[in-house]
Amino acid sequence: MTFESMPDFNGYTLEELLEAQAGINREKYPERAKEIDNLIAWRQARGFGVRGSYPERIRSLPLFDGQFDAYKLAAENASVLFATYPAGTEIPPHPHDTDNYGVISRGELLLTMNGETTHHALGSWYHVPAGVAHSARFMVDTEEIEFWFDPTDQG
């Protein structure tokens, strides 16, 4: 007898959940199908689309090619990202070569830098200096606007 553990669907994007919903064998995995259905309904009821609940003009921007969902607005010596993080998302420690600022527009962020974790809620701004390793956790569906500046351009 083999034991199959239940996947943790909380870290899936809405797009991934929709793909899982379309492909799951409902007869073989009824509990998994129900969990997927519930997560999709919960996210859609709160305005989270495949790529967040941003206005259509923002959703028409090019997609960011990275480890999270975001729309990218090009700017001189900077990038502006409209990012979406599903509940349960954890980003391991990593540095950037950019000087990053962000503001939470929905949900909350737990940001760890230099061994200290700070909580950022709706409307809260944060700063991650270039080259500083940091990690992030999102316990609830979260959206934020991130500004990634070239550190050599002091404006």
Band (pLDDT 50/70/90 cuts) for residue 62 is confident
Structure tokens at 45: 């009821």
Is residue 31 in a domain?
Answer: yes
Which residues, 6 or more positions from 55, have their beta carbon under 8 angstroms from its beta carbon? none
Amino acid symbol at 114 = N
Do 26 and 62 fall into the same domain?
A: no
5 versus 126: the higher-pLDDT residue is: 126
Q: Is the pTM of this model over 0.75?
A: no
Phi, psi (deg, nearest 5) at residue 88? 90, -5
Structural domain for 33, as ranges: 11-45
Q: What is the mean predicted confidence (pLDDT) over 54-80?
A: 78
91 versus 153: the higher-pLDDT residue is: 91
Share of the chain above pLDDT 70, in %: 83
Do 102 and 38 fall into the same domain?
A: no
Phi, psi (deg, nearest 5) at residue 46? -100, 10
Give the pLDDT confidence score for residue 91 in this predicted structure.
Answer: 92
Give the pLDDT confidence score for residue 128 in this predicted structure.
Answer: 96
- Rounded to an integer, what distance in angstroms lies between the CA atom of residue 130 and that of residue 95? 7
Mean pLDDT, the chain, rounded, equals 84
18 versus 130: the higher-pLDDT residue is: 130
Do 63 and 40 fall into the same domain?
A: no
SS3 state of residue 58: helix
101-114 tens-digit pLDDT: 999 999 999 999 99
Reply yes or no on whether the pLDDT at 50 is more than 50: no
Give the pLDDT confidence score for residue 73 in this predicted structure.
Answer: 86
Do 64 and 134 fall into the same domain?
A: yes
Structure tokens at 52: 């967040």
Do 79 and 129 fall into the same domain?
A: yes
Looking at the structure of the chain, the number of domains it has is: 2
